[in-house]
Amino acid sequence: MDLNTIWFILIAVLFIGFFFLEGFDYGVGILLPFLGKEDLERRAIINSIGTHWDGNEVWMLTAGGAMFAAFPNWYATLFSGFYLALVVMLLALIARGVAFEYRSKKDDPVWRNRWDWIIFAGSFIPALLWGIAISNLIRGVPIDDKMNFTGNFFTLLNPYSLIGGVASLLLFTLHGSIFLSLKLTDNLLEGARKVAKKLWLPATIVLFVYVILGYFETDMFSKLGVNPGAIPILAGLAILSVGYLLKIQKEGWAFVMTAITIAFSTITIFMGLFPRVMVSSTNPDWSLTIYNASSSPYTLKVMTIVAIIFVPIVLAYQAWSYWIFRKRVSTKQKLEY
């Protein structure tokens, strides 16, 4: 296996970690104004991710950095082509971070309510746009023979990518509701359980519609075959099992299953892309691949050495932080975040 392939896999792993961790993070933010009826309840919901949300976003920054260093042509085409969508996403994430920090600076219900809705918008928009962006990667966008994106913002808003956006939005919100059922107590716990049960069916239906549309809109099935292997099938079985696990109140296993759905769906998309990193809808021969979009072999070699040293350290630190802050959050305890 060459270094180009290794870095393609590593970037896929970074996106899996990002969607898994930030997925429930977004879901919690989306549910905040609806689950929390009073200020104390909303503070408890925010505290459930208060010690993790900024660490989760590091995975996105690392994935973007790895993409820039390992495949600069991919980074350049993606960020110039998806420029407006990525700016909107970035502004939403900035507003979300500011809202987390400022909502409790003033003891005013109107002030806090406004910041809560900003947290909602700052979670809703990225959850939707990530699905749209990934769908366009696999469906293909207009790219010329010089690796330039020749479309515009509205090129990205096709029916397939919009369904992909709704699928990621519903899946992340379901993931977040199950996470809350593992972190909250009393009435908030019951509320999170009810929301998770209500979200499971629409999320599952939209995901399967998205897969069916993929047969017509992408070349995934022609590349992977009608029987694409165990990973996509396990992703489908995992989301199907969530409904039963929620019914018997096995939220821990339900959370594992939504995590598997997110991880295996991401792997399936990267499998469908390989060895391409962006599909050209203008001419398949103009698609960006792990070879024509990559850095020099020396750069990839240095990056590999750095990754071998620091990735285990980062993983260990993040696992440790989740272990330290593993207890449930209650409205009866002192909430300071």
- pLDDT (tens digit, 9 = 90+) per residue, 281-297? 999 899 999 999 999 99
Q: Which residues are registered as beta bridge partners of 141?
A: 280
On whether the CB atoms of residues 44 and 330 are closer than 8 A, the answer is yes
Confidence of residue 225 (pLDDT cuts 50, 70, 90): low
β-pairing verdict for 276-278 and 288-289: antiparallel
DSSP, collapsed to helix, strand or coil, labels residue 272 as helix
pLDDT digits (tens, 9 = 90+) for 112-144: 999 999 999 999 999 999 999 999 999 999 999
Confidence of residue 227 (pLDDT cuts 50, 70, 90): low
Q: Which residues are registered as beta bridge partners of 289?
A: 276
pLDDT digits (tens, 9 = 90+) for 2-23: 899 999 999 999 999 999 999 9
User: What's the pLDDT score for residue 27?
Assistant: 95
User: What's the pLDDT score for residue 3?
Assistant: 92
Query: Domain limits of the chain?
Result: 3-325
User: What's the pLDDT score for residue 221?
Assistant: 76
Give every CB contact of residue 183 below 8 A, 6+ residues apart in sequence: 48, 328, 329
User: What's the pLDDT score for residue 30?
Assistant: 96
User: What's the pLDDT score for residue 70?
Assistant: 92
Q: Comparing 163 with 317, which gets the higher pLDDT?
A: 163
Query: What are the E-state strand segments in the chain?
Result: 276-278, 288-289
pTM of full prediction above 0.85: yes
Average pLDDT score over the chain? 91
Burial 16-27 (b: 16+ CB within 10 A, else e): bbbbbbbbbbbb
Radius of gyration of the chain (CA): 20
With pLDDT > 70 as the criterion, what percentage of the chain qualifies? Answer: 97
Find which of 91-105, 165-179, 206-220 is predicted with most confidence, using mean pLDDT. 165-179
Asked if pLDDT for residue 61 goes beyond 80, the answer is: yes
- DSSP per-residue codes, 34-88: HH--SHHHHHHHHHHHHTTHHHHHHHHHHHHHHHHHH-HHHHHHHHHHTHHHHHH
Asked if pLDDT for residue 151 goes beyond 90, the answer is: no
Torsion (CA) 215, 220, 222, 224 in degrees, nearest 10: -130
Asked if pLDDT for residue 228 goes beyond 80, the answer is: no
pLDDT digits (tens, 9 = 90+) for 244-295: 999 999 999 999 999 999 999 999 999 989 899 999 999 989 999 999 999 9
Confidence of residue 46 (pLDDT cuts 50, 70, 90): very high
User: What's the pLDDT score for residue 45?
Assistant: 93
Burial 280-319 (b: 16+ CB within 10 A, else e): bbeeeebbbbbeebbbeeeebeebeeebeeeeeeeeeebe
